[in-house]
Amino acid sequence: MPTFSLSRGAVAFVLVGLLAPLPAVLLPASAAAEDAQKPASQSSARIPTVTTAQAQPRDLVARVPVTGSLVARGEVLVYPDTGGYAVTALEADIGDSVAKGDVLATLDARTLTQKLAQAQAELARAQAAARQAESQVISAQSARTQAAQTLSRSQSLRDSGATTQSALDDALTADQTAQATLQNAQDGVAVAQAQTQQAEVALAIARQDLDAAQIKAPASGIISARNGQIGGIASASGEPLYRIIRDGEVEVEVEVTETDLAQLAVGQRATLDIAGLAPVEGRLRRLAPVVDATSRLGAVRIATPAQAGLRPGLFVGGWITTAERNSLAVPATAVISDARGDYVLLVRESAQTPGVGTLERRDVTAGLLWQDWREITDGLSAGDVVLARAGAFFAPGDTVRSAAESAQDSGPTTGAAAADQTADAGSAQ
């Protein structure tokens, strides 16, 4: 067998030739391992982290904001019963408390006193005429009785032939005349009695007019305005002499839109801030029966408890509570609307990867909005996890990483948070 002999240099050359391909074989395997690791880390980095919240029962309130003024619950206008007389005294001023029947003002009563005296004299004359008429009736009745007796005797004498027909005829005429005289006397009494009654009525009116010279409060309350002036002529038309807040009762009058009016009902609770006073609680007392066709507003009256400092005209702001209930709710920002209606993006968590889930559209029926929470009356169950914010930047089927919303972070999205959400949404895309 032939024998080969290699020098040291030849051996080195052969080894280099054999080992040279090894890096080319080993390096691709190492690169493949690195490439296998890259997709997993890069895929995880591309899953956006979103804020989520659980649907849970909450105390919710619906309120209608209102503004208005304090007004008198009932106002009494004081006019003179008889006009055309000068005011001689004013007994009450603005702010005074008055009772029913208190004298507020006095009119010049000289003419009224004279009219009363005239009415009294007229009544006396009518009464005298009535007495005279009654006396005439008595006389006529006596004459009629005598004439009737004479006629009866004449008739008997004529029947016996003791008198003439002419005498009988005279007796008959006298009886008829007596009857007519009696009838006239009786008619005169009726006229006199009517005149007496008329005079009595005139006297009563004169007394009433004289009494009306003292203008009295028709109801108890507080004087809110005084328009009368001493020396001025009182009139039964135009501005009243006084305005009285009946029983001193003051309440709130506000105007609400026709849409808000539909939510209101008598008895609902109102919380009111009155200028210069502490907040007060009231109750809705009266709803407007009509809505103004121009402004589309309706007037509402709210009863308030009596307290010092309530003055008509003071500005009032506040709200009327229209509903209070404990109901399922989610953050208001979680509810999205489109042509199909309201919906939320439900987070379906992956069983293989905790904290990572897929978004699913869930149509809901939304109700009350209270302090950035929205009532859900249908479509969700307690414990369902939904996307709390920036839902418009995501779509059903998107994969997200959940970060539960904290109790302190249940309010409206801030500007910085909105920017973070936009950035997250951009990375999601």
pLDDT bracket for residue 171 (50, 70, 90) = confident
C-beta of residue 332 within 8 angstroms of C-beta of residue 372: yes
Predicted local distance difference test score (pLDDT) of residue 402: 86
The CATH code of the domain that includes 96 is 2.40.50.100
Same domain (yes/no): 192, 254 = no
pLDDT bracket for residue 82 (50, 70, 90) = confident
Q: How far apart are CA 423 and CA 7, in angstroms?
A: 70
Q: Put residue 251 in one of left, alpha, beta given phi > 0 → left and psi -120 to 50 → alpha.
A: beta
Strands 49-54 and 399-404, sheet pairing: parallel
Same domain (yes/no): 95, 234 = yes
Predicted local distance difference test score (pLDDT) of residue 73: 92
Q: How far apart are CA 224 and CA 220, in angstroms?
A: 12
Same domain (yes/no): 224, 102 = yes
Nearest to 97 by CA among 217, 215, 212, 228: 217
Q: For the chain, what is the mean pLDDT?
A: 83
Average of per-residue pLDDT across 351-355: 82
Predicted local distance difference test score (pLDDT) of residue 429: 36
Same domain (yes/no): 163, 127 = yes
Q: Which residues contact 282 (CB under 8 A, 6 or more apart)?
A: 251, 252, 269, 270, 271, 272, 302, 303, 304, 305
Q: How far apart are CA 19 and CA 43, in angstroms?
A: 38
Predicted local distance difference test score (pLDDT) of residue 45: 57
Nearest to 68 by CA among 321, 318, 322: 318
Is residue 32 in some structural domain?
no
pLDDT bracket for residue 419 (50, 70, 90) = very low
Is residue 25 in some structural domain?
no
Is residue 18 in some structural domain?
no
pLDDT digits (tens, 9 = 90+) for 13-50: 333 343 344 444 333 444 444 444 444 444 555 889 99
Q: Which residues contact 309 (CB under 8 A, 6 or more apart)?
A: 274, 276, 277
Predicted local distance difference test score (pLDDT) of residue 151: 82
Q: Which two tokens stand for residue 296?
A: 């589309």
The CATH code of the domain that includes 314 is 2.40.30.170
C-beta of residue 152 within 8 angstroms of C-beta of residue 174: no
Nearest to 327 by CA among 404, 380, 399: 380
Domain housing 373: 49-58+326-428
Predicted local distance difference test score (pLDDT) of residue 406: 53
Same domain (yes/no): 403, 386 = yes
Provide Rg for the chain, Cα atoms. 53
Q: How far apart are CA 349 and CA 342, in angstroms?
A: 22
Q: How far apart are CA 413 and CA 233, in angstroms?
A: 69
Q: Put residue 309 in one of left, alpha, beta given phi > 0 → left and psi -120 to 50 → alpha.
A: left
C-beta of residue 314 within 8 angstroms of C-beta of residue 71: no
The pTM of the full predicted model, rounded to 2 decimals, is 0.60
pLDDT above 70 covers a percentage of the chain that reads: 84
**Total domains in the fold of the chain:** 4
pLDDT digits (tens, 9 = 90+) for 216-274: 999 999 999 999 999 999 988 889 999 999 999 999 999 999 999 999 999 999 999 99
Is residue 232 in some structural domain?
yes
Predicted local distance difference test score (pLDDT) of residue 34: 47
